[in-house]
Amino acid sequence: MRIAVLAAGALLSASAYAVPPDIYKAHTAAELVRLCSTPASDPDAATAIAFCHGVLAGAYGFYVSATPVAERFVCAPDPAPKRSEVANGFVAWAKKNPQYMNDGAIDTLFRYAAEAYPCRR
């Protein structure tokens, strides 16, 4: 019984902090750009930027784990750039390439990354 009460309390506490799904989504490049360029003055800036960085890190982490080295077209330099550098670079690149704003967020992120961080073989 005590576990059920604790679980219910945790669930209610978590739902009080639930984020509306339409605010934090990154299906298109435009949505990812919006999140990654959230101004510091926005009350949700920390969350939006953290979400952006999570998308960047997660996408690259999956890419590295799923793509054999010989097939990679994006390679992080050594030392690797900070997430904020990648995010800012992506935002600037996307704004110069508006034709991709309706494309998938991850596809467009990798278009940028292929230009910014190509593999040198």
Domain borders along the chain are 19-116
Higher pLDDT among residues 44 and 8, named by residue = 44
Residue 7 has pLDDT above 50, yes or no: no
Distance CA 58, CA 101 (A): 20
Angle of helix 83-96 versus helix 105-116 axis, rounded to 10? 100
Phi, psi of 118 (to 5 degrees): -70, 155
| pLDDT single digits (tens) 13-33 | 444 455 555 677 889 999 999
The predicted structure's pLDDT at residue 65 = 97
The predicted structure's pLDDT at residue 21 = 52
| pLDDT single digits (tens) 61-99 | 999 999 999 999 999 999 999 999 999 999 999 999 999
Of all residues in the chain, the percent with pLDDT exceeding 70 is 81
pTM (2 d.p.): 0.80
